[in-house]
């Protein structure tokens, strides 16, 4: 059962893995750059960050035309030997010389790069795999874990994924992990309208990273939450529901605030910081 019920075949068709030889190193974080790709002209895109990731104003702007290929899952299998050759890892000790970050969302990737680069360096290389994975229905932690198991199988090694929820307290946490499909259907105007009949506009953004050292290993999960409320859309519409979420203690929505500020208070930052600790210490999460 897919998290987005009508998307399974599209997801499979959109999956793409870029061969590692085509990855671009960015201060210990590698992002895939296809050989035909030109450097990004995006204003404000700093050196090497998510090359080819554009900013845009559509609800579908998470999908990058450069990073998103027309390949399918069979194509991924076809290039896996390239991955195996270049990876040196020991699953039993949970060490890996490189970790793939599997996502189909270019905006997520951009934030993860920025957050990792701003903090303590990792003794691993992190590379991006542009996979759009099937997502099961269920509790957010289980969705993230299952996504990670699938990613580990596809990548054939150490992998991290993340799954993001936007949870309305008036709806007992829904739309939660299904926010992608609510946003798609209702748009930035429709999400705040869902709360029109409620006094309680409070919500939280939740990010769950799941990490697996390789196929067959049980993924570890790391949860980050940022409290806030749902407001009428304000700011750039480049990234998901950013314009309708105003974090607690701020007058600006995620979309209005500077990225560097978002990346120090966001649900993604909080979860990634825990994952970073884990990767640095190889200790179990709290």
Pull the structure tokens for residue 8: 């399974």
Residue 110 backbone class (left: φ over 0; alpha: ψ -120 to 50; beta: rest)? alpha
Q: Return d(Cα 69, Cα 49) in angstroms, integer.
A: 19
17 vs 239 by CB, closer to ligand Y43? 239
261-280 residues near ligand Y43, rule: CB under 6 A? 268
Q: Return d(Cα 193, Cα 239) in angstroms, integer.
A: 19
Q: Are 284 and 275 in contact (CB under 8 A)?
A: no
DSSP H helical ranges for the chain? 8-14, 73-86, 106-118, 140-155, 179-193, 259-265, 267-281
54-93 residues near ligand Y43, rule: CB under 6 A? 62
20 vs 167 by CB, closer to ligand Y43? 167
134-163 residues near ligand Y43, rule: CB under 6 A? 135, 162-163
What character string, x for contact with ligand Y43 (CB under 6 A) and - otherwise, covers 221-260? ------------------xxxx-----------x------
Helix (H) or strand (E) holding 31: strand 29-32
Among 31, 40, 61, 103, binds ligand Y43 (CB under 6 A): 103
10 vs 85 by CB, closer to ligand Y43? 10
Helix (H) or strand (E) holding 96: strand 95-96
Confirm or reject binding of residue 219 to ligand Y43 (CB under 6 A): no
222 vs 241 by CB, closer to ligand Y43? 241
Confirm or reject binding of residue 16 to ligand Y43 (CB under 6 A): no
147 is in an annotated binding site: yes
Pull the structure tokens for residue 45: 């895109």
Ranked by CB distance to ligand Y43, the top (closest) residue is 240
Residues forming contacts to ligand Y43 in the complex (CB under 6 A) are 62, 103-105, 108, 132, 135, 162-164, 179-180, 183, 239-242, 254, 268
């Amino acid at each position: 059962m897919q998290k987005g019920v009508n998307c399974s075949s599209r997801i499979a068709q959109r999956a793409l893995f870029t061969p590692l030889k085509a990855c671009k190193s960015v201060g210990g974080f590698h992002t895939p750059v296809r050989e035909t790709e030109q450097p990004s002209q995006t204003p404000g895109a700093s050196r090497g960050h998510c090359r080819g990731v554009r900013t845009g104003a559509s609800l579908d702007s998470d999908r990058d035309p450069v990073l998103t290929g027309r390949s399918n899952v069979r194509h991924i299998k076809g290039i896996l030997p390239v991955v195996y050759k270049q990876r040196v890892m020991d699953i039993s000790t949970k060490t890996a010389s490189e970790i793939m970050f599997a996502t189909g969302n270019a905006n997520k990737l951009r934030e993860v790069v920025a957050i990792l680069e701003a903090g303590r360096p990792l003794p691993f290389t992190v590379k991006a795999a542009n996979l759009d994975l099937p997502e099961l229905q269920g509790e957010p932690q289980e969705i993230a874990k299952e996504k990670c198991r699938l990613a580990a199988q596809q990548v054939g090694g150490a992998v991290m994924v993340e799954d993001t929820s936007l949870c309305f307290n008036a709806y007992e946490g829904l739309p939660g992990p299904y926010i992608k499909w609510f946003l798609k259907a209702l748009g930035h105007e429709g999400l705040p309208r869902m709360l029109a009949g409620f006094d309680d506009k409070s919500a939280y953004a939740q990010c769950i990273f799941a990490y697996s050292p390789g196929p067959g290993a049980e993924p570890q999960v790391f949860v980050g939450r940022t409290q806030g409320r749902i407001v009428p859309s304000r700011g750039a519409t480049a990234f998901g529901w950013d314009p309708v979420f105003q974090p607690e203690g701020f007058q600006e929505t995620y979309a209005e605030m500077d990225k560097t500020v978002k990346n120090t208070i966001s649900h993604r930052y909080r979860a990634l910081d825990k994952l970073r600790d884990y990767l640095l210490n190889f200790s179990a999460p709290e």
